[in-house]
Amino acid sequence: MDAQATTKPAVLILLGPPGAGKGTQARMLEQRFGLIQLSTGDLLRAAVAAGTPAGLAAKAVMEAGGLVSDEIVLAILKDRMAQPDVKAGVILDGFPRTAGQAAALDGLLAEAGQGVTAAISLEVDDAAMIARVAGRFTCADCGEGYHDEFKLPVEAGTCDKCGGTAFKRRADDTAETARARLEAYHAQTAPLIAHYRGLGVLETVDAMDSIAAVASELGSIVTRVSA
């Protein structure tokens, strides 16, 4: 696996609005480079499903497409970062999303004598994002992503990857909530692009291209920054 030759574990950030392909690409990078995908959205959905206090507090905000408080997100992220598997290196998917989260991450990494290896901004067209988000669904067993319009399973009703027959849709993947999430991205997350440009770790990728083309470009970036 390409990244295992690195001296320090990579800390990669995927920035981009909902529908840009962060989750899909993070999963592919995870498999290719042996990194750990760390999605605060997945962690929060798990907390909601488990009915933890953090999950109960986050549920309504997530359903409305807003941002969960930095306090809750940081507590969940720190817990996850403390687990031993992240020593392989991480791909942060959906974190940081605010200036406060970015500053907290910088501080957390500085304590370990580290910094962000690369923050990769997936550049996309807003209008197309609503359509991408509104039609997506995943295999309930393995998490493989699909889309009503752009990527249906080859055999209807059966997951291409694991053969599973149950699929699920996120409660917040509606056109209306996607619009709110896009607004939250522009208001609070897009300014982080300048933060990472200032740190000299910003990379940009045209994410309107095919999943395979974006994966190939990301792979080249990860290989280069991990060297």
Residues designated as active site: 22, 97, 136, 169, 181
- The single residue among 27, 59, 80, 97 that binds ligand AMP, judged by CB under 6 A, is 97
Contact flag: residue 181 with ligand AMP (CB under 6 A):
yes
Question: Closest CB to ligand AMP among 95 and 137?
Answer: 95
- Alpha carbons 160 and 28: distance in angstroms, whole number: 15
The structure tokens 């027959």 sit at: 165
Question: Closest CB to ligand AMP among 71 and 148?
Answer: 71
Contact flag: residue 91 with ligand AMP (CB under 6 A):
no
Please name which of 184, 213, 178, 187 lies closest in space to residue 19, comparing C-alpha atoms: 178
Instruction: Give the binding range for ligand AMP (CB under 6 A) out of 89-97, 145-153, 154-162, 212-220.
Output: 89-97
Strands (E), 11-166: 11-15, 36-39, 90-93, 118-123, 136-139, 145-147
Pair of tokens at residue 175: 């056109």
- The single residue among 3, 48, 67, 134 that binds ligand AMP, judged by CB under 6 A, is 67
Write the DSSP assignment of 186-221 as a string of letters. IIIITTHHHHHHHTT-EEEEETTS-HHHHHHHHHHH
Contact flag: residue 218 with ligand AMP (CB under 6 A):
no
Q: Which of residues 8-27 bind ligand AMP (CB under 6 A)?
A: 18
- Alpha carbons 55 and 49: distance in angstroms, whole number: 7
- The single residue among 9, 17, 21, 41 that binds ligand AMP, judged by CB under 6 A, is 41
* CA angle 9–95–180, rounded 5-degree value: 160
Instruction: Give the binding range for ligand AMP (CB under 6 A) out of 4-12, 30-38, 67-75, 194-202.
Output: 67-75
The residues binding ligand AMP (CB under 6 A) are: 18, 39-41, 44, 61-62, 65-68, 73, 94-95, 97, 101, 172, 181
